Structure 1
Amino acid sequence: MEDDWWYRRRRRPFWSEDLFDEIDKMFEDMERMVWDLMRRFSRGFTPEELREIERQLERQGIRPYVYGFSITIGPDGKPVIREFGNMRRERGKPVITEEREPLIDVFESGDEVTVIAEIPGVEKDKIDVKVSDDGRTLIINASDTNRRYYKEVELPSKVDPSSAKASYKNGVLEVKLKKAGKGKEGFKISVE
């Protein structure tokens, strides 16, 4: 389509009276191309087609990757940027890993810390949530046949692991922890 436009354009001088008609035609061609692309992508892929795409990528040594970030404003008014996905930098080069970092949000209110993690595609019994010995890090480890997630979340305050409650619904893990006073041992949290 681009070649058609250039061909039509070369046949006439640039200052011809139908310049605006040509511009309209060019926009119509672009719009047609965009709609065609949208039609192709909107039909989606069947699970078999997705598996075949993954096999082709693996044969070429390319694994699918997920990368993103979220920006929130912290309690001090400064922006907090959190990355997620399975793409990391090691020695300055991007590396695709088997484990994805889930998208995480951490909220602190009063005497409670709430951590919300998006880990879709994993069964509840395949999720392992722990609090570190010092009570300052929440460790999320989840793996199923197709997906694996791992994230160590630095908590804004020291927490009491025995007060932890976790729930998982529709791919979203929510962990509520009470702030703690003095040191406790590491504690495994059961997911409801």
Structure 2
Amino acid sequence: MSDDRKKKRRSFDDLFDEIDDLMKRFEEEFEDMERDFEDLLKNAPAKEGPYYYGVRVYVGPDGVPHIEQFGNIKKEGRGKVIISDETEPMVDVMERDDEVWVVADLPGVDKDQIKVSATERTVSIRAEGDKRKYSKEVELPAVVDPSSAKATFKNGVLEIKFKKLQGSKGSVNIKIE
């Protein structure tokens, strides 16, 4: 076997080792989160549910895996649990060539119960339905033109598209179509 094939073979094996290590780290993280969630509920103040707690795992633009929590259960400090009336929705932010998209899951509310405002670097989403309240401040990966926002809401999913910006505009409220 040539030296070049040995190098390729070895680097291919290294890739599998790296994937195996990453999967083991994810497994450990999920086990830790499961224990944390059980502790959260044990230490939670007496409050009638529903309780929402979830995690989203994604690889950021920097190539680093991230784990993001969402829901209405928060852990503050060492063992202190806060159960909020407001749920932090799961939100995806995607950057395209000249656009930034924000997609938020807001089940149980109507379009007219959602308030969205934006600056060049953040989007604020608030919604209050008969039984559900949502609140989330989202940091954007690029500077956007808030006045270019196009927002739609269908089947519990809010989608907002922004054009990227070179200058500065300020804060604007966004109408949902």
TM-score, normalisation: structure 1? 0.65
Query: How far apart, CA to CA, are the structure 2 residues paired with 1:108 and 1:150?
Result: 22
Q: Does 1:129 align with 2:107?
A: no
Q: Does 1:142 align with 2:127?
A: yes
SS of the equivalent of 2:81 reads strand
Query: How far apart, CA to CA, are the structure 2 residues paired with 1:62 and 1:164?
Result: 38
Shift of 1:64: 2.2
Partner residue, 2:155:
170
**Relative to structure 1, is the Cα distance of residues 62 and 181 closer, same or farther in structure 2, using a 3 angstrom cutoff?**
same
Per-residue displacement from partner, 1:72-111 (whole Å, max 9, x unpaired)? Answer: 1112211132211001122331110000000111100101
Partner residue, 2:144:
159
Q: Does 1:113 align with 2:100?
A: yes
Query: Which amino acid letter does the alignment assign opposite residue 74 of structure 1?
Result: G
Per-residue displacement from partner, 1:13-64 (whole Å, max 9, x unpaired)? Answer: xxxxxxxxxxxxxxxxxxxxxxxxxxxxxxxxxxxxxxxxxxxxxxx63332
SS of the equivalent of 1:64 reads coil
- Does structure 2 retain, via aligned residues, the 8 Å contact 1:82–1:104? no
Point out where structure 1 has 5 or more consecutive residues left out of the alignment.
1-59
Partner residue, 1:66:
52
Partner residue, 1:84:
70
Partner residue, 1:189:
174
Shift of 1:163: 0.5
Shift of 1:162: 0.7
Point out where structure 2 has 5 or more consecutive residues left out of the alignment.
1-45
Query: How far apart, CA to CA, are the structure 2 residues paired with 1:68 and 1:94?
Result: 15
Query: How far apart, CA to CA, are the structure 1 residues paired with 2:74 and 2:130?
Result: 22
Query: How far apart, CA to CA, are the structure 1 residues paired with 2:71 and 2:55?
Result: 8
SS of the equivalent of 1:145 reads coil
Shift of 1:149: 0.1
Q: Name the larger-Rg structure.
A: 1
